[in-house]
Structure 1
Amino acid sequence: MSMLDVHAAALQTINEAHHTFLLKYKKIARKVYGFTEGKEDPMFYRSLIEAILPPDWSVELISCGGREKVVGAYQSFDWTEFPKKRICFFLDRDLTNYIPPEIDIADCNVYVTDGYSIENSIVNFGLCERMLIEVFKVDKISGEEQVILERLFNTSLNSYKLSLTPLMSQILHWRQKKVVAPLNNVNLSALFSVEDGQLAVKVGTDDMLRLSANDVGAPSLDAASYRFAEAQFTSDGNCHEYTRGKYLLWFLSAFLASVHENSSKFCSKIQVTPKMNVTVGSKNLMIYAAPRARCPQTLRSFINDNYIDFIESGVHAISASG
C-alpha cells in the first residue's frame, strides 16, 4: 500500500484536521500546535502567539473549516499520547451566548474568544493608529489631533455596532432556524459608508433586513419576527460585542480609507494625500492588520498557561534527549 493509500485510509477513520496534524507533528521540534476555525484565523493567531513565544519557537496552526471540525479534531486525540499544553484549540464565541452549540468542548487547552471572534478584540483605535502611520503613511498627526481622531474613531465604531443591530438580530434568527446564509456575501457598502471619519447609515431597518437577506439568499424577517429577534439579541447587555468580527474589519478598512483620503483635514502638517506603497482594502486588510494587532489579555494568559508552561516544563527537552 502506498503512502497516499495510507493517508486516504486514515482520513476515513479520523478527523481530517487531526490527520493533517499527524503529518506535520514533530515530537522534538521547537514547535507548538493549534487548531482554528476559519482559513484566515491562523494569520491573526500566529502573529499574536509568536510575539509571546521564545524566539526559537514557532506555532503550527491548522485551519479546520468550522467549529464542529475543531471540536472533532479535539475529540480525535488520545491525550495519553500527546501533551495537552502543546496542542491548543481556538474557537470563536460566535452567537453561542444565545444558541449553545450541540457539541462543545471546555478544557484547559481550549480558548474561546471574548467577543464574536478574535477580530472583535483587536479592532480598536490602537490598531487603527498603527495602520494609519505604518501603512497609510498618515504619520504627522499631533497629540491634540490624535485625541480628536481617537474620539471620532470610537464614536463611529460604537455607532456602527449599534446600527448593525437589525442585521445581527436577523442573523441570530437565521442561526436559530438553521437557515443557510453565507454571511460574507452581505454588501456592507450598500448599508453604510464612512465619510471624513464619520459613519453614515444609508438605509433604514426594513431595507437593511431586505438587502442583507437578498445578498445571502435567505428570507427577510417580517416586522413581528424582527421585534422578537431584536429583543433576543439585545437581551444580553454585551450584545454589541457579538457583532460579527469580519463586519468590524469592514468598518476599520472604510475608516482608514476615509482618513487617508482626507488626511489634510485631520493633520495640519499634511497638504497632499500621502502616497502608499501598497493597496489596502477590506479584502486584504488582514494581511496588514494581523502583525500590528495587540494580543487580548485573555489570549495572552491562555498562551502563558499552555504553550509557555509546556516550553518551560522541559518536557520537550526530555523528549529530544530521550
Structure 2
Amino acid sequence: MKSATEASSSSFNGSSSSSSSTSSSCSTSSDINELSKEAFTKHHFTKCAELLKKALDGIKSETERRRLHANLALCEAKSKAQLFSATYQAALLNIFPKLKPGEDHNLEDHDEAVAAFNLALNAFVRGNRRTCLEILQSVMTVNTLSDTLFCAVSLLEIDVSLTLCQPKLALKQAVKLRDSITWRRANVVQRDYLDCLECRIRCRLAQTSSLIDFTSKPELLHWCLIQSELDVKNGNATRAVNRLLKFRPSLQDEERRLVDNALGCVYALSLKKISLAESYFRSAMLVKQEKRK
C-alpha cells in the first residue's frame, strides 16, 4: 500500500476448501492463487488477470468465484489506471450488489469488507465524501477485519474528516487509533501516513481564525493563501478566487505578485481559463519588474 488514500486492498488468500472437492484440484488452485498473488504484489497486473481467469474455470463455489472476480476487476483497473474511475465502481457494485446506494450494507465476510473499502476509496477520491463515510462505517462492523484493513479504514476516516474541514474530529480519531491495540501491528507505510495526517491536522488547527492576528498584514495574507489552497483542494475554486481578489494588494505592493500568481494557478489548473491565468501570471511578473526599478 502506498498510503491510505492511494491504496487498494485485495483478497488473494482465499480458502482452498472452496476451490475444489479433490486434493489435486485444490493443489492446482492453490498454486494459481499463489502465483496470482505474487504477480499482483510485483505489479504484473496483466499476468495476474490471466491467472485469475484461469482459476475461475475450475471454481464452482459462488463465494470463491465472487472473490476471484473482485480481484480480477482490481487487476484490470490497476492495469488501465482506472482504480478511481466509475468503471471500477460499476464493476464492484455488479459483483457485490448489496454495496449499492440504498441497499442494506450488512457485510458478512472479509472479502465483502475489502470490496467495500475499495469502493469507499473510489468514492473519496471522486469527491463523494459522505458516501465514503457511510461505507467505511459498515466496514467497521465486520468482526473478521484483518489488522491491515482495520488500519487502512481508520486512516481513510481521518483523511475524510480533514477533507470535510473537521480537524478536531480528525485529531480525536488519530488519538483513538494510536491508542488501539491493533495499531501496534500496523505496517511501516501506515505508520508513516498517520504521521503525515497528524502534521496536516496540526497545520489545519493552526489555521483557525482564532489563532490569526488579523492586524498583521503578513499573517493575514498567509492565511488568505492557505485558505484559498484548501478551497481548491476541496473543490471550491470559485471561492478561492473570490477570497484572493478580496485580499489582492495594490499594484505597488510586492505581495501583489504572490496573490496574482495564486490566481493564475487557480484559473489554469482548476477553472481551465488559460487566458485569465496568463493575465495574472503576467501581472505577477510586472510587480516584480516594478520592484526592481
Structure with the higher fraction of residues in helix conformation: 2
Compute the TM-score of the two structures, normalised by the length of structure 1. 0.23
Structure with the higher fraction of residues in strand conformation: 1
Q: Larger C-alpha radius of gyration, 1 or 2?
A: 2
Compute the TM-score of the two structures, normalised by the length of structure 2. 0.25
